[in-house]
């Protein structure tokens, strides 16, 4: 099949694009040129802003499937510059749907977020949604657009990703990706700056497990469905820092973590239930301790 991956130069999109190509699909990538890494040289790349519908005319008209991964993904950036959430997450998703209708795309597979749930534990896909951030609202809006466009014969699958981590995350971006933020700091200093309580917690999922879930969206039995991509394991910031420090093989007492305050709209914690996804044969295979150690080793080896 001919598949377009929006946000293919980003963390999840890059891994996904390569996986789809390995599976034998013809993969096209949309992203800004400054985000497209050298490892995407074998892909046809379309550099344009998804919030501008007129730019979609660059794309071929025989695309079968769209994986819509592109987004503004930082809750903090969404707080200080909410227009980016509106442009990239809301308008961008609406435009993807408009384009899918225009050329007759069979299906749009969308990465939503745990942020649509708000605070709470072991959320199921049928639970009430209550986003507390601009970012969460914008991702929920994307889900609603997909449901709206189903009436035009466009199938969809929605994956609500919890906290994804692993090699390929932007180590320079200290506003997005809790594992990468703290790991990046630990590689430069023995002092780690933490926003919010050390008892805040997340549900961390390794990138390879996330990609294996997303590929399942190609199966017709996932049409019209929403799936949590989660481990159902609660990890506090305190525990996460301990695992990161241990990955260095140094005395963990050499590191210091200090609280620098919390920003509005940041979730204290939530976790997800992935039993629905597991019924498709998926399961998280990488434990957090092992994933962090692999992430650390990959970063060190590729410096």
**CATH code of residue 144:** 3.40.50.720
Q: Which of 245, 246, 269 is nearest to 192 (CA)?
A: 245
For the purposes of burial, counting CB atoms within 10 Å of the CB of 11, is it exposed (0-12), middle (13-18) or buried (19 or more)? buried
- Asked if the model's pLDDT at residue 37 lies above 80, the reply is no
Residues in the chain: 303
Share of the chain above pLDDT 90, in %: 78
* Three-state SS sequence of 59-111: CCCCCCEEEECCCCCCHHHHHHCHHHHHHHHHHHHHHHHHHHHHHCCCEEEEE
Residue 34 confidence (pLDDT) above 80: no
> Cα(65)–Cα(59) distance, rounded to whole angstroms?
13
Nearest to 145 by CA among 68, 55, 58, 211: 68
First to last CA, the chain: 36
User: Residue 113: pLDDT band by 50, 70, 90 thresholds?
Assistant: very high
Q: What is the dihedral of CA 223, 47, 145, 54, to 10 degrees?
A: -130
Q: Does residue 195 belong to any structural domain of this protein? A: yes
Mean pLDDT to the nearest integer, 174-180: 85
Q: What is the pLDDT of residue 79?
A: 73
Do 201 and 240 contact (CB within 8 A), yes or no? no
109/133 same-domain check? yes
Q: Which residue range is the domain that position 293 belongs to?
A: 178-202+233-270+285-301
How crowded is residue 87: how many other Cβ atoms within 10 Å of its Cβ? 17
For residue range 184-232, list pLDDT tens digits in order.
999 999 899 998 889 999 999 999 999 999 999 999 999 999 999 999 9
Clarify whether residues 196 and 215 are in a common domain.
no
126 pLDDT higher than 80: yes
**Whether residue 119 is found in the same domain as residue 221:** yes
Average pLDDT of the chain to the nearest whole number: 92
Nearest Cα residue to 79 out of 268, 260, 263, 202: 263
Q: Which residue has the higher pLDDT, 301 or 150?
A: 150
Distances (CA, A) of 263 to 51, 97, 132, 175, 260: 27, 33, 12, 11, 10
Q: Is the domain of 140 the same as that of 189?
A: no
Mean pLDDT of 235-250: 92
For 96, half-sphere exposure in the C-beta direction (CA atoms, 13 angstrom radius) is 37
User: Radius of gyration of the chain from Cα atoms?
Assistant: 19
Say if 172 falls within a structural domain. no
Residue 161: inside a domain, yes or no? yes
What is the per-residue pLDDT for 76?
A: 67
The verdict on residue 171 lying in a domain is no
In whole angstroms, give the CA distance from residue 27 to residue 21.
6
User: Does 246 lie in the same domain as 155?
Assistant: no
Indicate if the pLDDT at residue 7 is higher than 70: yes
Q: Are 72 and 84 in the same domain?
A: yes
Same domain for 183 and 80: no
User: Does residue 173 fall inside a structural domain?
Assistant: no
pLDDT, residue 21, reads: 97
Q: What is the mean pLDDT of residues 7-22?
A: 95
pTM above 0.75? yes
| Whole-number Å distance between alpha carbons of 181 and 21 | 29
136 and 182 housed in the same domain: no
User: What would the pLDDT profile of 41-73 be if each residue is shown by its tens digit?
Assistant: 889 999 999 999 999 999 999 999 999 999 976
C-alpha 259/C-alpha 192 separation (Å) is 9
- Structure-token match 């889900």, residue found: 143
Q: What is the CATH number of the domain that holds 292?
A: 3.90.25.10
Lowest mean pLDDT among 140-144, 145-149, 189-193, 237-241: 189-193
User: Rounded to an integer, what distance in angstroms lies between the CA atom of residue 80 and that of residue 90?
Assistant: 17
Could you tell me if 252 and 211 lie in one domain? no
The answer as to whether 87 is a domain residue is: yes
Q: Does the pLDDT of residue 289 top 90, yes or no?
A: yes
d(CA 232, CA 79): 27
Same domain, 294 and 210: no
Q: Are residues 16 and 61 in the same domain?
A: yes
> Residue 278 falls within a domain, yes or no?
no
Q: Does residue 281 have a pLDDT over 70?
A: yes
pLDDT for res 78: 65
The pLDDT value recorded for residue 251 is 65
Q: Is residue 115 assigned to a domain?
A: yes
The 10 Å Cβ neighbour count of residue 224 is 12
Cα 162-64-18 angle, rounded to 5 deg: 50
pLDDT of residue 55: 96
- In the predicted model, is pLDDT for residue 94 greater than 90? yes
Total count of domains within the chain: 2
The Cα diameter of the chain in Å comes to: 59
| Same domain flag for 208 and 191 | no
Q: Hey, which residues are catalytic here?
A: 135
Residue 169 tokens, joined: 């995350």
């Amino acid at each position: 099949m001919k598949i377009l991956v929006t946000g293919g130069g980003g963390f999840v999109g890059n891994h996904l694009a390569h996986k789809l190509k390995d599976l034998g699909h013809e993969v096209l990538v949309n992203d800004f040129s400054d985000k497209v890494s050298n490892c995407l040289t074998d892909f046809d790349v379309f550099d344009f802003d998804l919030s501008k519908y007129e730019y979609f005319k660059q794309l071929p008209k025989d695309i079968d499937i769209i994986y819509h991964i592109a987004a503004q993904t930082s809750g903090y950036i969404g707080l200080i510059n909410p227009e980016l959430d509106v442009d990239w997450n809301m308008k961008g998703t609406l435009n993807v749907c408009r384009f899918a209708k225009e050329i007759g795309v069979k299906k749009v597979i969308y990465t939503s977020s745990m942020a649509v749930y708000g605070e709470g534990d072991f959320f199921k896909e049928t639970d009430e949604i209550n986003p507390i951030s601009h970012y969460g609202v914008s991702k929920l809006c994307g889900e609603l657009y997909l449901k709206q466009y189903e009436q035009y014969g466009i199938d969809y699958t929605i994956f609500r990703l919890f906290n994804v981590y692993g090699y390929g995350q932007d180590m320079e971006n200290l506003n997005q990706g809790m594992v990468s933020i703290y790991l990046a700091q630990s590689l430069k200093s023995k002092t780690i700056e933490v926003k919010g309580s050390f008892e805040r917690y997340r549900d961390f999922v390794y990138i390879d497990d996330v990609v294996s879930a997303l590929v399942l969206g190609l199966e017709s039995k996932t049409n019209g469905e929403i799936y949590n991509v989660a481990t159902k394991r609660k990890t506090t910031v305190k525990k996460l820092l301990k695992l990161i420090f241990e990955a260095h093989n140094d005395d963990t007492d050499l590191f210091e973590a200090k609280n620098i305050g919390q920003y509005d709209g940041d979730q204290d914690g939530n976790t997800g239930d992935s039993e629905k996804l597991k019924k498709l044969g998926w399961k998280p295979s990488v434990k957090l301790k092992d994933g962090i150690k692999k992430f650390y080793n990959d970063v060190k080896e590729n410096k």
